[in-house]
Amino acid sequence: MRVFGVDPGLTRCGFGVVDGGAGRTVRPVAVDVVRTPADEDLALRLLQLSDAVEQWLDRYQPQVVAIERVFSQHNVRTAMGTAQAGGVVALSAARRGLPVVFHTPSEVKAAVTGSGRADKAQVTAMVTKLLGLKTAPKPADAADALALAICHLWRAPMRSRLEEAQARAAEIARTHRARLAQAGAKVAATPRAAKAGSGGSARIVPVAAEVAEADKSGRKSR
């Protein structure tokens, strides 16, 4: 699988493409940082970023685009610019029908270093080691983009299994509800009980047993 990792930003936007092989094998393909002037009009900066993304998608033909999920508790203005840059990347990928995934910074750090609290220097060091690079990718935006790609390559199989399990559970639940509804409809359409014997004791209607059986079956399948 080939993943295009993007560390979004307006002033500096990190791009990194990594190929994944058997097991946890990863191979670097390309890395760079796209810069736009801070004093330029916002629309033009986003256009420049969009053009760069299109060029990379054309050149490297990734199968997935992984973008860092944006959040900020302090600098709202910076967070907005970063989110806008990430939106441009996601839009370019979506137009080509490419899947877009978002990973949080702590998720990426944990994937490549083993700790969600790792600093940028630790992330850069591990990315350099994992990819067998002779020199560390600079600036940090470049290393972060490669880390995003590696993170997705290693997390994708786990995420896929989780989604499959959730889909199976949802299907079992739908089947169970349908069986209960069908059995309930039979109960509603059938007399509740029939008198039997002089004591007036009630005879259980067969469809009531069907409801109980459907409920029992659903519980077993969960």
Q: Which residues pair with 144 in a beta bridge?
A: none
Beta-carbon contacts of 64 under 8 Å, excluding residues fewer than 6 positions away, are: 1, 2, 3, 4, 98, 99, 100, 101, 152, 156
Single out the catalytic residue among 19, 40, 141, 163: 141
DSSP assignment of 36-53, as one string?
--TTS-HHHHHHHHHHHH
Exposure pattern of 123-154 as b/e (b: 16+ CB <10 Å)? bbbbbbebbeeeeebeebbbbbbbbbbbbbbb
Single out the catalytic residue among 32, 40, 68, 119: 68
Residues 161 and 158: their CA atoms lie apart, in Å, by: 5
E strands present in the chain: 2-7, 12-20, 26-35, 64-68, 100-103, 193-196, 201-204
Tell me, yes or no, if 144 is annotated catalytic.
no
E strands present in 21-172: 26-35, 64-68, 100-103
Tell me, yes or no, if 141 is annotated catalytic.
yes
Single out the catalytic residue among 7, 39, 119, 213: 7
Tell me, yes or no, if 68 is annotated catalytic.
yes
Active site residues: 7, 68, 141
